[in-house]
Chains A and B, each alone.
Chain A
Amino acid sequence: MSAAVSMSKPTEHPPPAQQRPVRPRTWWKAAAVLVVVAAVTVWSAIAVEVDFGALFRNAGNASRTIGQLLQPDYSYFPETVRPLLETLETAVISTAVAAVLSLPISFLASRATDPSTPLLVAVRFVMNVIRSIPDLLYASLFVTAVATGALSGILALVLFNIGILVKLVSEALDGLDRGGQEAALAAGSGWIKADRSAMLPEISPIYISQTIYVLELNIRASTVIGLVGAGGLGMLIDKVRTFYQYHYLSLVILEILVLVVVLEFVSSYARRKLVR
C-alpha cells in the first residue's frame, strides 16, 4: 500500500493561561433544607397534639408491662408452634404465587420491554392502584369477604407483593443495558422473543434477589396482618394481648425476632451469592 498519508507530529503549545473557577458556596442550601425539615416536624407534632406528659403519668403501667415482657414464659412454646408454622407457610406461598405473577407483569410495565404505550399506561395504572392499598387493609377486606384464617392472609400478601415486585423489577428493567435486545430486534425477532432471550437473563439475578427480599417482608407482614384475623402468629398475638398475658406475648415476640434474624441472614447470604 502506498504511503500517501503522512503524519506531522503535533506541535507542543504551552498551556494557555486559564482562570480557575471560584468554588461555589452551597452550605446555605443545606441549612435552608434543614430549617424547613425541622419546622415541618415541629408543626406536625403540634398539629397531632403529642402529649409527652402521658409518658410520665403512665410510667407505673409501663414498668409493670415491661417487667412482664422481660420474663418470657417458655412453657407456652408448644402452643405457638402451629401458628409459627402457619406464618411461615403463608409467607412462602404468597411469595411464590406473587413471584410467578409479577414476572410477566414487570415486562409489561417497563418502557424498555413493552413498546406499546397504551398497554404500558394501563398496566402502570392498575399497579399504582394495587400498590396504594396497604397490606393491612387488604387483609381486613379479605377477612370480611372470604373468611378469617390463612387464605385471607395469603390473598392479601399476594396483592401486596405484586405491587412491590412489579415496581422494583420493572424499574430495574428500565435501567438495564439493552444491547442484546437491540441486536435481537435487528435480527428480525419480535419483542416478546427478544425480551425473553436478551432481557430475562440480564434481569434474573435482580428478580431473584427481590423475591427473597419480599419473602423477608412477608414474615414480618404476616404477623401484622394476623392481628386482623388473617391467621398465623398475628392472631396469637391478638389473643394473648387481649388477656394481658405479657409473659406469653414476649415469647411470641422473641420467636418473631429469631425468625426475622435467621431469614435476614439467609437472604443476605443468598443475594450476595446471586448478584456478583
Chain B
Amino acid sequence: MTPAGAGICFDGVGVTYPNGVVGLRDVSLDIEPGEMVVVVGLSGAGKSTLVRSINSLVPFTSGEITVGDVAVSGLRGKALRRLRSEIGMVFQSFNLARRTTVLNNVLMGRLYAAPTWRTMLGLWPASDVELAMQSLERVEIVQKAYANASELSGGQQQRVAIARTLAQQPRVILADEPVASLDPPTSHVVMRDLQRINAELGITVVVNLHFLDLARRYGNRLIGLRAGEVVYDGPGADADEKVFESIYGRSLTAEDVLDTPARLT
C-alpha cells in the first residue's frame, strides 16, 4: 500500500538566508531509503535548516538535494507540491488547526490529492476518510477522531500530527524538534511512534533532537551539526561524551539530557 521509503542525497548543499546568515555550509550526506536518522546540534547549528531544505520550506542556495529520484532545486508549483505530498512533516508546536476536529486535521494530509471543489465544501472522499482513520489507529488515538484538536494534550496533538503525515502515504517523514514541547514520558511515546513507523512501513525518517540521550537511544544513525557543517556521522550508540562535546563545542550540562542524570550515570 505505502510506497517504500525514499533515499535522500545532499550534494554540497549550502543555505544562505536573505539576511546573510549562513544556515548550512557544503553539506554532503547520503540517507538510505528506510533509514532512521537523528540530527543533533545546538540551536542555531542548522538542524532546522537541514530538515526544512529537504521539502524546500527553506530554499537552499547552492548544491543539490535529491529525494528518491527527484532533484529538489528549482521545483515550483505543481511539481513542488507533488514532492511535498510525498514528504510528511512533524513540527515542534504540532501545527494543528485547533478549532476543528482531529479527523479534519488528519485529512489535511490528503489536500494535495483532493479536488479543490471538494475541499471548499468539506466533502472528503470516503477513501480519504478511511485512510485518515487508519492513520489515527496506527498512532492509537482514533477514539479522539471527532474531538476538537484543542481538547487534546500536547502528546496527543503530536500523535495526531504524525497521523496527518501518515495520511499522506509518505516516502519520507521529517520531524523538526518533535518532542521539544513535551514532557519526558510523552517524548518517549512520540519517539517510539516514529521508530515503529520507520520499522513497520519502511518510511525514511529524519528527526531533529537536542536532547543527547534521546538522540543516542533513537538514532540508528546520528548526524552532528555545528555551525552549519556536519561534524559527526555515525551510529548513535557509538557517540560518547567526547563526540557530543565536539558537536556542541562545550562541555555538557544537565540541560542537554531529557531524563534525570541519575538514570544515565
Contacts A7-B261, A196-B119; is A186 near B237 (CB within 8 Å)? no
Chain B neighbourhood of A182, CB < 8 A: 91, 95
How many angstroms from the CA of A7 to the CA of B263 in the assembled complex? 11
The smallest C-beta distance from B58 to any residue of chain A, in angstroms, reads 11
Q: Chain A at the B interface: mostly helix, strand, loop or mixed?
A: helix
**Structural contact, B95 and A183, CB atoms closer than 8 A:** yes
The reply to whether B82 and A180 form a contact with Cβ atoms under 8 Å apart is no
Residue pair B105, A180 in contact (C-beta under 8 Å): yes
Q: Give chain A residues whose Cβ lies under 8 Å from the Cβ of B213.
A: 5
- Best-buried of A182, A194, A198, A204 by chain B (most CB within 10 Å): A198
B residues less than 8 Å from A202 (CB atoms): 97-99
Task: Decide if B95 touches A180 in the complex (CB within 8 Å).
Answer: yes
Residues of B within 8 A of A5 (CB): 212-213, 240-241, 244, 252, 257, 264-265
CB distance from B91 to the nearest CB of A (A): 7
Task: Name the one of B83, B107, B119 contacting A188, with C-beta atoms under 8 angstroms.
Answer: B83
Is A10 close to B, CB under 8 A? Answer: yes
Say how far B87's CB is from chain A's closest CB, in angstroms: 8
B146 interface hit (Cβ, 8 Å): no
The 4 closest A-B pairs by CB, nearest first: A188-B85, A180-B97, A179-B95, A188-B112
Query: Do the beta carbons of A183 and B99 come within 8 Å of each other?
Result: no
Interface residues of A (CB under 8 A from B): 1-7, 10, 177, 179-180, 182-190, 192-194, 196-199, 201-202, 204-205
**Residue on A with the closest CB to B118?**
A193
Complex formed: what's the CA distance from A188 to B85 in Å? 4
Q: Within 8 Å CB of B105, what residues of A?
A: 180
Q: Which residue of B lies closest to A205 (CB)?
A: B99
Q: State A10–B244 Cα separation when bound (angstroms).
A: 18
- For A183, the closest partner residue in chain B by CB is B95
Residues of A within 8 A of B83 (CB): 188
23 A-B pairs within 8 Å (CB atoms) are namely A5-B213, A5-B241, A5-B244, A5-B257, A6-B264, A7-B261, A7-B264, A10-B253, A177-B98, A180-B97, A182-B95, A183-B164, A185-B84, A186-B55, A187-B108, A187-B111, A187-B168, A189-B108, A193-B114, A197-B107, A197-B119, A197-B122, A201-B104
C-alpha gap A3/B112 in the complex (Å): 46
Between A185, A187, A201, the greatest number of chain B beta carbons within 10 A of the residue's beta carbon is seen for A187
Query: Of A6, A177, A197, A199, which is within 8 A of B111 by CB?
Result: A197
Residue of A nearest to B120 (CB): A196
Residue with the greatest number of chain B CB neighbours at <10 A, chosen from A6, A177, A190, A201: A201
Q: A188 to B240, Cβ gap below 8 A? A: no
Residue of B nearest to A202 (CB): B99
Q: Write the nearest CB–CB distance from A4 to chain B, whole angstroms.
A: 4
Closest-CB distance, B152 to chain A (whole angstroms): 14
* B95 contacts across to A, CB distance below 8 A: 179-180, 182-183
Assembly CA distance A56 to B190 (angstroms): 79
Using Cβ atoms and an 8 Å threshold, which residues of chain B touch A190? 81, 111, 116
